């Protein structure tokens, strides 16, 4: 059970809520104990389809004997609701009407008159009686609620699935957070029959972006436009609940939109949001993804790396700056860079609390024959000179293809500059742009870097050194090297 839960970010994230953890584990246990041929559930709808049945069969006291309920459990646990006996369908439809009314009116509590005949169905909970005002001659009123808000949200769908206006219902509520989980259940229960209703709602809005890296300039079509990011996430989460056989329909829609880049900067994505988004893009021709400033953690990193090594993935540019990754995420990204199916050429991991261990793993990946990375940005991490040693060793390796490296604001001293300068003079080094701004370099670093610029093996075209501790003499060493270094042009900026 634990192996299954931790392998799927969707149910793993749900387990942070104790009630969901209980429900998920109970569902998995039932399938395992009864040796069912059913696949272990990975989506919230599949969990709740089992949950409501288990509660109903175990706790219903409305006109069914335990023997009858036991038989129904053995024959109908894995059958759709529409195949249940008519009297059970009527109970579920009645619960659906109550649930829908409650969500519409913002109510969790119902009086006994509203749930008449359903009090002991096993899916409602009796609350303490509502007491009348003091000195009143009125009787206390019985009160009920669903055993959990999510169960109430699930049963809204049971009522809605018989409505001919599904499309209108979805359009009306897709942007309302109150109905978010309801619509996910709706998509999961109706499966293929609801796919088109949700695909129609995928935003068509795009924005043009231009990528400048080294000598490369590419114009891409980025999706969605800023104002449609929330809508895109909500639709993705609903589509995630639908069977995978609907992928051709999704792919057709993505091709119609004409996107080849995805931008969710500042999206504040939850793990479930990210899983749903990447699921949508699985068979697309996405070249560029920006998930910067989205509060992504190590769990999200695993989802991204799984996406990258998908056999259909064509991703070349990935921006993940200013998230909350640790060295574990760096290790996962490094493993991905060494994978034969990884096509990444550019990776931005700046501002992510990495230590020297992360630098060691990433540098090892740069030396692997499968690694195609030409651009690496790791500024504003917690590196020491040890990280510079590892990156310098990678630059000298024959397999390293790196042309652009950003090591700004990394607490490096003159020793780091010495190691990297030695790498720049190595015949295997292909680096054309180096960013060393905001470190702790002095006169000694200036001399070592100047010597590297004058070396015949050095291929640097740009070197950024603003924000260091150079004297006027050190700046002059670098400026002279930039002018006279083997007829190459260097830009020594911002002294």
Segment 263-287, tens digit of pLDDT? 999 888 888 999 999 988 887 889 9
Q: What's the CA gap between 449 and 495, in Å, rounded?
A: 15
Q: How far is CA 211 from CA 38, 235, 290, 404, 455, in A?
A: 46, 28, 12, 14, 31
Summarised one tens digit per residue, pLDDT across range 151-199 is 999 999 776 665 567 888 888 999 998 999 999 999 988 877 778 888 8
- 462 by Cβ neighbours in 10 Å (0-12 / 13-18 / 19+) ranks as middle
Identify the burial level of 443 via C-beta atoms within 10 angstroms of its C-beta, where 0-12 means exposed, 13-18 middle and 19 or more buried. middle
Separation of alpha carbons 62 and 175, rounded Å: 38
All domains in the chain, ordered by first residue: 2-131+139-162 (no CATH), 207-493 (3.80.10.10)
The closest of 118, 146, 144 to 61, measured between CA atoms, is 118
The answer to whether residues 135 and 126 touch, using CB atoms and an 8 Å cutoff, is: no
With 70 as the cut, is the pLDDT of residue 249 above it? yes
User: Three-state SS for 194?
Assistant: helix
pLDDT at 434: 93
Helix runs in 66-176, H state only: 66-76, 86-105, 149-160, 166-173
DSSP 262: E
| pLDDT (tens digit per residue) in 95-153 | 999 999 999 999 999 999 999 999 999 999 999 988 888 877 778 889 999 999 999 99
**How does the average pLDDT of the chain come out, rounded?**
88
Position 489 pLDDT exceeds 50: no
Q: Which residues contact 482 (CB under 8 A, 6 or more apart)?
A: 453, 463, 489, 490, 491, 492
Does this model's pTM top 0.85? yes
The pLDDT of residue 162 is: 57
Other C-beta atoms closer than 10 Å to the C-beta of 245 total: 10
């Amino acid at each position: 059970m634990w192996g299954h839960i931790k392998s799927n970010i969707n149910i793993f994230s749900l387990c942070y809520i104790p009630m969901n953890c209980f429900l998920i584990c109970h569902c998995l246990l039932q399938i395992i104990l009864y040796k069912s041929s059913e696949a272990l559930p990975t989506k919230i709808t599949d969990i709740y389809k089992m949950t409501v049945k288990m509660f109903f069969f175990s706790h219903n006291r409305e006109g069914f004997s335990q023997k009858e309920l036991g038989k129904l459990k053995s024959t109908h646990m894995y059958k759709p609701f529409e195949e249940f006996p008519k009297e059970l369908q009527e109970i579920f439809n009645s619960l659906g009407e109550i649930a829908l009314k409650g969500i519409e009116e913002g109510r969790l509590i119902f009086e006994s008159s509203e749930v008449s005949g359903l009090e002991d169905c096993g899916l409602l909970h009796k609350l303490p009686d509502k007491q009348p005002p003091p000195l009143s001659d009125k009787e206390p009123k019985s009160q009920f609620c669903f055993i959990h808000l999510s169960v109430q949200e699930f049963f809204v769908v049971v009522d809605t699935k018989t409505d001919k206006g599904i499309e209108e219902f979805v359009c009306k509520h897709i942007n309302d957070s109150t109905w978010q989980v309801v619509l996910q259940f709706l998509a999961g229960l109706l499966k293929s029959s609801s796919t088109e209703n949700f695909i129609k709602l995928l935003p068509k809005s795009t924005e043009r972006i231009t990528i400048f890296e080294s000598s490369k300039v590419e114009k891409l079509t980025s999706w969605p436009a800023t104002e449609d990011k929330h809508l895109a996430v909500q639709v993705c989460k609903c589509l995630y609940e639908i069977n995978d056989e609907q992928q051709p329909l999704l792919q057709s829609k993505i091709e119609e939109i004409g996107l080849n880049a995805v931008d969710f900067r500042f999206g504040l994505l939850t793990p479930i949001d990210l899983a749903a988004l990447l699921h949508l893009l699985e068979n697309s021709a996405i070249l560029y993804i920006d998930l910067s400033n989205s509060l992504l953690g190590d769990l999200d990193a695993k989802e991204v790396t799984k996406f990258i090594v998908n056999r259909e993935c064509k991703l070349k540019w990935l921006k993940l700056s200013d998230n909350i990754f640790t060295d574990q995420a760096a290790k996962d990204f490094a493993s991905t860079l060494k994978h034969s199916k990884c096509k990444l050429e550019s990776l931005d991991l700046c501002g992510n609390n990495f230590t020297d261990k992360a630098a060691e793993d990433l540098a090892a990946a740069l030396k692997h024959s499968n690694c195609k990375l030409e651009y690496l940005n790791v500024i504003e991490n917690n590196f020491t000179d040890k990280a510079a040693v590892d990156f310098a060793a990678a630059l000298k390796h024959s397999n390293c293809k790196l042309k652009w490296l950003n090591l700004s604001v990394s607490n490096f001293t003159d020793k780091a500059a010495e190691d990297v300068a030695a790498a720049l003079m190595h015949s295997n080094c292909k680096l054309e742009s180096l960013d060393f701004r905001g470190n702790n370099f002095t006169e000694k670093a200036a001399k070592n870097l100047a010597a590297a610029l004058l070396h015949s093996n050095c291929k640097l075209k740009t070197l950024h050194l603003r924000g260091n501790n150079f004297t006027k003499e050190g700046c002059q060493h670098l400026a002279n090297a930039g002018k006279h270094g083997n007829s190459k042009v260097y830009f020594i900026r911002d002294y």
